[in-house]
Amino acid sequence: MDSVTDPAARSVVGIFAVLALIALWAVIVASFSAQIAQLWFPLQLLIYIAAGIAWIFPAMPIMRWIVTGRWRRK
């Protein structure tokens, strides 16, 4: 059986891919922390809330692949 079609292997690979995505996203957001820190506090809060939610959208195709083995919806 091909390892990509094996659901257990997809789960392991997918979990590491999501963790790598989160780490990369955190580095990107942290690289802007000096500029964000100069903003009004409620605006900082909104930016960090948006950044905390935004990583979900690039992770959705990975999660779909873990479950179905396909990158796109039918």
Would you say 21 and 58 are in contact if contact means Cβ atoms under 8 Å apart?
A: yes
Residue type, 36: I
- Who wins on pLDDT, 15 or 7? 15
Residue 6 pLDDT: 86
CA pair distance 10, 51, nearest whole angstrom: 27
pTM above 0.95, yes or no: no
Match 């979990």 to its residue by tokens: 15
Averaged pLDDT, 11-18: 95
Mean pLDDT of the chain: 92
